[in-house]
C-alpha cells in the first residue's frame, strides 16, 4: 500500500460546487504539501502545512492538517473549470525526498 | 528568470536501448532531484544530485544513473530500457541547504515511451 492515500481517486463536479480531497498518511506527518498537475505536465506548488491544526487558504482553495489523524484535506469553494487537474499530496521523508500520493483527478463541468 | 527546463519533451525508444534526459535547474538553485511518474501514479523519487554527487537514492535499479555538471545542470541516464520504464520523468531543483521540500520547483517533464 502507498505511504500516502488520496481519496477520491477521481471527482467530477459541476462548476460552482464545493469539493474536498483527502490525503491520509500511514506515517507521522511532519510536513504535508499540496501540488496541482495538469495532465502530463510538471507540478505546481499550492500549499505547505507543517503544524497540527494548521489551515491555509489561497484564493478559493483551503487546506487543513489534522496531525493526530495524520490527514490533510484540500477544499475548493465554488469550483471553476480552471481548477481542473490532478491534485497531489506529498510528504517529507528526508531533505528534498518527497513521497507522493497517487493523485486525485478533478473534472469541473461548465 | 527561467524556471526548471527539461529536454527533450517527448522521446520514443526501443527495449534494450539507452536514453539520456536533461535538466537545467532554476537560476540560483544548486540541487537537482529526479522523479519517475507512471501513468495514474504519483511521482517516485529516483535520486538527488548536489555538488556533482549523488546524495540520496530511491528504490531504483543501477540501470538508472545520473550526473550533475559544474553549472548545476543534470542528466538522467537509463540503460537497457524496459517497457516498464515508460513514464513521465520530472526534474525538480532546489537549494540543498534548505530542508523545506516545498521549495522544489518542478520542470515540465520528459515523456518517455519504450516500445
Contact: B88, A40; criterion CB under 8 Å? yes
Residue A102: left if φ>0, alpha if ψ -120 to 50, beta else—which one? alpha
**Looking at residue A39, what is its pLDDT?**
79
**Looking at residue A1, what is its pLDDT?**
58
- The answer to whether B110 and B7 are in contact (CB under 8 A) is yes
**Mean pLDDT within B28-51:** 93
Most confident of A37-46, B10-19, B35-44: B10-19
Contact: A96, B40; criterion CB under 8 Å? no
- Shortest CA distance from A4: residue in chain B: B42
Alpha carbon distance B27, A16 (integer Å): 39
Beta strands in A1-110 (DSSP E): 4-7, 10-14, 19-25, 32-37, 43-49, 55-58, 61-66, 71-76, 85-94, 97-100, 104-109
- Among B101, B108, B112, the strongest candidate for a mutation testing the A interface, having the largest count of A CBs within 10 A, is B101
H/E element, B74: strand B74-78
Contact: B45, A40; criterion CB under 8 Å? no
- The answer to whether A36 and A100 are in contact (CB under 8 A) is no
- Among B42, B47, B51, the strongest candidate for a mutation testing the A interface, having the largest count of A CBs within 10 A, is B42
Q: Would you place residue A9 in the very low, low, confident or very high pLDDT band (cuts 50, 70, 90)?
A: very high
**Looking at residue B20, what is its pLDDT?**
98
Phi, psi of B85 (to 5 degrees): -80, -5
User: Which tens digit of pLDDT belongs to each residue from B42-71?
Assistant: 999 999 999 999 988 989 999 999 999 999
Contact: B42, A4; criterion CB under 8 Å? yes
**Looking at residue B98, what is its pLDDT?**
63
User: Which tens digit of pLDDT belongs to each residue from A35-91?
Assistant: 999 977 889 989 888 877 889 998 899 999 988 888 999 999 999 999 999 999 998
Closest CA to A7 of A108, A107, A109, A102: A102
Task: Measure CB to CB from residue A96 to each of B42, B90, B94 and give the nearest one.
Answer: B94
Amino acid at each position: 500500500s502507498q505511504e500516502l492515500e488520496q481519496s477520491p481517486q477521481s471527482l467530477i463536479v459541476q462548476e460552482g460546487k464545493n469539493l474536498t480531497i483527502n490525503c491520509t498518511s500511514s506515517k507521522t506527518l511532519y510536513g504535508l504539501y499540496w501540488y496541482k498537475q495538469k495532465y502530463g505536465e510538471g507540478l505546481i506548488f499550492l500549499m505547505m502545512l507543517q503544524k497540527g491544526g494548521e489551515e491555509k487558504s489561497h484564493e478559493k482553495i483551503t487546506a487543513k492538517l489534522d496531525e493526530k489523524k495524520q490527514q490533510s484535506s484540500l477544499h475548493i469553494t465554488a469550483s471553476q473549470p480552471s481548477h481542473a487537474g490532478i491534485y497531489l499530496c506529498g510528504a517529507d521523508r528526508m531533505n528534498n525526498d518527497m513521497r507522493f500520493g497517487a493523485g486525485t483527478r478533478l473534472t469541473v463541468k461548465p | 528568470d527561467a524556471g526548471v527546463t527539461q529536454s527533450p519533451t517527448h522521446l520514443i525508444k526501443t527495449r534494450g536501448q539507452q536514453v539520456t534526459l536533461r535538466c537545467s535547474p532554476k537560476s540560483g538553485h544548486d540541487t537537482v532531484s529526479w522523479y519517475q511518474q507512471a501513468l495514474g501514479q504519483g511521482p517516485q523519487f529516483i535520486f538527488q544530485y548536489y555538488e556533482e554527487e549523488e546524495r540520496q537514492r530511491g528504490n531504483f535499479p543501477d540501470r538508472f544513473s545520473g550526473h550533475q555538471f559544474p553549472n548545476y545542470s543534470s542528466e538522467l541516464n537509463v540503460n537497457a530500457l524496459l517497457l516498464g520504464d515508460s513514464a513521465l520523468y520530472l526534474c525538480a531543483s532546489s537549494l540543498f541547504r534548505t530542508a523545506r521540500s516545498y521549495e522544489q520547483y518542478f520542470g515540465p517533464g520528459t515523456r518517455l515511451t519504450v516500445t
